[in-house]
Each structure stands twice: as structure tokens, then as C-alpha cells.
Amino acid sequence: MATYTLYTLPWAPVAFQGQVRDLPVRWALEEIDAPYAVRTLSDEERRSPEYRAKQPFGKVPVLEVDGLAVFESGAIVQHLGENSWLLPAESAQRARARMWMFAAMNSIDPDIIALGDIDHFASDTDWGRTRRPDVERSLRTRLNDVASALGARDFLAGPFSAADIVMIGVLRGLRHTALVNEISALRAYRDRCEARPAFQRALAAHMNTFTRRVA
């Protein structure tokens, strides 16, 4: 059995707890029933040459798999999927899952990050107030596109897959808004995914990392 070690943060501001990107990795590990160890890193440790050899930008998460360090949450979930049922065996579904993983990170996430940067850090600035309507408009279009593509299916690629883990991980960046809730199909999709026992275990472990921190 493979040995997994997850590197993540010891703490995050309350607004970002529940959406640090170790969460999708934990979720994938829980789905495939893979025990893993967690190592939290201080800012100084993330700047160290040893960690930069694992993650060139000093970010989290990193997952070590039998000595191989994999970084970027989407890449980690894909790596886990390549060796498990998280990427479907049927070729068309497998391709669809990969496409939606990239779509989540490249077509949806940039606008979510842009909106979050405004809302959390620049809501009282002139440029933030000027820029926000355009970012929200673009994001609404993309979210409706996802809902339309999902159609009557429960999940993006057919069966539940790595694509859903990555997409939900991205959409959690909108929890401070009503944007997902306003689109009934997308809200139902999110709720269906987050109701999975593996997600609930992953979220509990993720939040426990922060609540155990001694100030």
C-alpha cells in the first residue's frame, strides 16, 4: 500500500477555513480509503530550500506518495485518480473527467479568485467597486455554463469522479456569496457532492487542523 504525507498550513484566516486547497486532496484520499499523515508547515518552513525542492513556489498542498512529491491540488487529485476509480475506466468518461478538471481550474477559478480578492481585500477601494460588477458578470456566465453542461446528470463525467472533487473545491471559494445558491442546478450539484461521507470526513479533518492550533 502506498504511503501518503500531506503538507498543508497550520492555520488560515476564518474567511478561508474550509477552502484551503488541501481540502480536495483530503477528499480524494478519503474517497479511495487511503490513510495519510499530515504535516503542517510554518511560513519559514515553506521558504526553506528543502520544501522548495518539493514545491517551487512554497505553497500548499503537497502530497508525498512513496517519496514522490506532487504539488498543485488539481494535479494531486488527478495523480490519485490515475491510480484509482476516481478517474473512470470508460475512455469517454475518463476524458470528460480530465476536461472538467482543467475547466474548473482554468475557466472557473480565475474569476472566483478575482472576485474573492476584491471582496476580501479591496471591497472599500475605488478600483474594487469599479471592477467587481464585470468580474461578477463574467463569473455568472461561467457558472450558468457549468449548470447547462451538467444538465440532468448528477455528476460532471457520468459517475462521481476526480472532476467533481476539483470543481467543488473551486466553487467553495464562493461561499461568501449567493452566486452558487442562485443557480438551482448548481446548488443541487454542490449539495449532492458535499453530502458524500468522504467529503464530510475530509472537511472535519481540514477544520480540525485549524481548531487544534494554539494561538
Alpha helices in 67-125 (DSSP H): 73-82, 91-103, 109-121
pLDDT of residue 144: 98
CATH classification of the domain holding 123: 1.20.1050.10
Mean confidence (pLDDT) of the chain:
96
**Same domain (yes/no): 81, 68:** yes
What sign for the dihedral angle of Cα 29, 33, 35, 38? positive
**Same domain (yes/no): 178, 119:** yes
**Residue 75 structural domain:** 4-85+199-211
**Same domain (yes/no): 59, 138:** no
**Same domain (yes/no): 166, 74:** no
Q: Report how far residue 43's alpha carbon sits from residue 36's, in angstroms, rounded to the nearest whole number.
A: 22
Q: What are phi and psi of 154, to 5 degrees?
A: -75, -35
pLDDT of residue 213: 55
* pLDDT interval class at 214 (50, 70, 90): very low
Q: Which helix (H) or strand (E) holds 52?
A: helix 49-52
Q: Please give the tally of structural domains in the chain.
A: 2
> Quick one: angle between helices 162-171 and 184-194, nearest 10?
110
**Same domain (yes/no): 95, 180:** yes
**Same domain (yes/no): 127, 38:** no
**Same domain (yes/no): 96, 81:** no
Instruction: For residue 31, give the 3-state DSSP assignment.
Output: helix
Q: Which residues, in sequence order, are bridge partners of residue 64?
A: 5, 69
pLDDT digits (tens, 9 = 90+) for 159-170: 999 999 999 999
Residue entry with cell 488541501: 22
CATH classification of the domain holding 71: 3.40.30.10
Global pTM value: 0.96
Phi-psi region of 66 (alpha: psi -120 to 50; beta: other; left: phi over 0): left
**Same domain (yes/no): 17, 63:** yes
**Same domain (yes/no): 61, 31:** yes
**Same domain (yes/no): 138, 175:** yes
**Same domain (yes/no): 95, 135:** yes
| Cβ–Cβ < 8 Å for 176, 119 | yes
pLDDT digits (tens, 9 = 90+) for 120-154: 999 999 999 999 999 999 999 999 999 999 999 99
**Same domain (yes/no): 66, 121:** no
